[in-house]
């Protein structure tokens, strides 16, 4: 049985890239690519300390996440977004929830 999968990508921007340019590209990536991706549930783009960013994408299943990665390899929308990132030292991992807690 498939379970929700959370994709985590951590990275820095290339030194010459302004954050406003990056966020605009992220908006296009979301609108043109992820919104139409089968199994896409939600996404959070986060800024951390020391120039690190985190992109969290929630998928219906790991299979959906893996299928998207294959499509991303040939997508101009993905290429435009990824081109702004310094991929040296970037990291991508997938997680399955063990427990979800909400304020009660």
Q: What's the whole-number mean pLDDT along residues 42-56?
A: 96
Flag whether pLDDT at 81 surpasses 70: yes
Confidence (pTM):
0.89
Q: What is the pLDDT of residue 77?
A: 86
Three-state SS string over 8-50 comes to EEEEEECCCCCHHHHHHHHHHHHHHCHHHCCCEEEEEEEECHH
For the chain, give the percent of residues with pLDDT over 90: 88
Q: What's the whole-number mean pLDDT along residues 7-16?
A: 97
Domains, the chain: 5-95 (3.30.70.100)
Q: What is the pLDDT of residue 82?
A: 94
Q: What is the pLDDT of residue 96?
A: 94
């Amino acid at each position: 049985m498939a379970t929700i999968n959370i994709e985590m990508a951590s990275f820095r921007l290339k030194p010459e890239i302004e954050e406003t340019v990056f966020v605009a590209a992220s908006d296009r990536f979301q609108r043109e690519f992820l919104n139409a991706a089968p199994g896409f549930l939600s996404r959070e783009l986060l800024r951390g300390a020391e120039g690190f960013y985190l992109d969290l994408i929630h998928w219906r299943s790991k299979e959906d996440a893996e299928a998207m990665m294959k499509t991303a390899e040939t997508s101009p929308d993905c290429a435009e977004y990824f081109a702004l990132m310094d991929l040296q030292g970037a990291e991508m991992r997938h997680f399955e929830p063990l427990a979800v807690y909400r304020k009660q």
